[in-house]
Amino acid sequence: MEKLTTIREQLEEHLRKHGMTINRFADLSGVNSGTLSNILNGNRPISMQQLDRITSGMGLPDGYFYDLYIDECIFHATPDWRRLGPFLLRCAELDKLDCLDRAIRMTMDNVAYAPMLFDMAETLFQEGKNEAAAILYQCVAESEKFQHSERLALCQYRLFMLSLSEDQEANLQAAVSFEPYIDRLDEGYQLDAYVKLINVNLSLNRWNKVKNLAEKMLQQAMVLYKYNKSSSPTKTKEHKKPLVFYILYAYLSIENYYSEEMDFEKALHYVSLYHEPDWIIEKNEEEREILEQFKEWAVANRYLYRLMAGDVDVLPEYVDYVAERESEIFTAVCNIMIVANLHKLDVDHILDRFGNYLTYKEQKYHIAKASNQVTLSRFTKLLSELGIYYLNSSRFEKGIEYILESLKSCIAINSSNGMLRCMGIFEQFRHLATDEAQRQYKNLVSEVQKLNDKKIGLSISYL
């Protein structure tokens, strides 16, 4: 039997097989009988609404004819946005992303569609249909002729945001791909883009990049803040947060760089810049809340740098301070374990007190939710620091257990540096590991090898 290759042929066969008249099918489907007759005679293109009604009238699942519709009404016909637009939205609604991608790529020679595809991507992005939006952004970016256009930059920014995940290697690639476009973004998006880039690089421990991005954000935010104070409010751009947030966050980020460099004098200098800034005048309620949050961070970080520098007597004050501020406890415990291992401190009593905070969970502050990438990175580091702490105090079984948990977490987020660190520590104490721990380690190493094979592209045998 000859294969039925068009929607019209399949509709004709359905009517013949069921002995159904056009009028009867019109009643079932809700499509006008005259319209159906014109469609069957090839005198009228099928609209999206008509296609869905015909599909339903034939008792077929939603989207059944979409592949054929692409060939008949998009590829072999002059594309018409009145048909194409609703079709793309319906594909996104039904999660038929392969059809969405095919249809777009067949029409991208017509650059006139780029603005409409971009607007549709923005709509889908706002509705949380991220995969469909990403396909549209990618196609618009590829077709954009004006390489310095704001639309291209915004497409790249959306793609960057949508591609962020728990995978650190993928996040690195996303950050590297997006960064060249940040200066081309519209002013209203630029500062938030800097914050997101800083957070990704912070989670990857790319401290030089953190400092570089923070300095650029600081310069831009300062210029805008001074301009806004001397301009009419109607002439200024809206930002997601008040400008003071970006300035203070830049100080905090640069401080983190100097902290990692163990230059506590410079780190404390930047703490002083966001502790109680006196250049902010006529504060509104949102700005006051931001200032209060940064003040809390400043006090906590002053305690931390005294600890890091060897003033261990301040530890009880630090613990009591964060204990009254639940949103600060997780970060403080991470820092305390680093200090404990650095100065060989006994912090069992602190671990007992904050035992509920030794598990991964989303971190929220008064003014925002912490970056998921940063939280995951900190949690993985916390597990390894706990392992080192227990190994240093000769509690080998517990220490090795935490090192294996850290290795498992490193594999989950694809952190190469973290995996190497954990494997190095385990090998150092392998002779003290139980048979069960060694079995777990062997299985985890196999997972590491699989990840490495994916990066290489293929496994090479030397035998």
Within 10 angstroms of residue 92's Cβ, the number of other Cβ atoms is: 23
The confidence score (pLDDT) of residue 114 equals: 86
Query: For residue 231, what pLDDT is reported?
Result: 61
pLDDT at 392: 95
Residue 2: its pLDDT value, please?
A: 42
pLDDT given at position 78: 63
The model's pTM is 0.84
Query: What are the distances in angstroms from CA 377 to CA 123, 155, 162, 310, 460?
Result: 32, 27, 19, 25, 31
**Domains assigned to the chain:** 1-64 (1.10.260.40)
DSSP 8-state symbol, 366: S
Give residue-wise pLDDT tens across range 430-454: 999 999 999 999 999 999 998 887 7
Low-confidence ranges of the chain (pLDDT < 70): 1-4, 75-79, 145-148, 229-238, 455-463
Reduce the DSSP state of residue 50 to 3 states and report it.
helix
How far is residue 47 from each of residues 4, 50, 99, 107, measured CA to CA in Å? 20, 5, 16, 17
The pLDDT of residue 375 is 92
At 463, the amino acid letter reads L
410-419 as b/e: b if 16+ CB within 10 A = bbebbbeebb
Convert 85-114 into a string of H (helix), E (strand) and C (coil): HHHHHHHHHHCCHHHHHHHHHHHCCCHHHH
DSSP state of 201: H
Q: Which residues, other chains included, contact 232 with Cβ-Cβ below 8 Å and sequence gap of 6+?
A: none
Q: Which of 256, 328, 319 is nearest to 296 (CA)?
A: 328
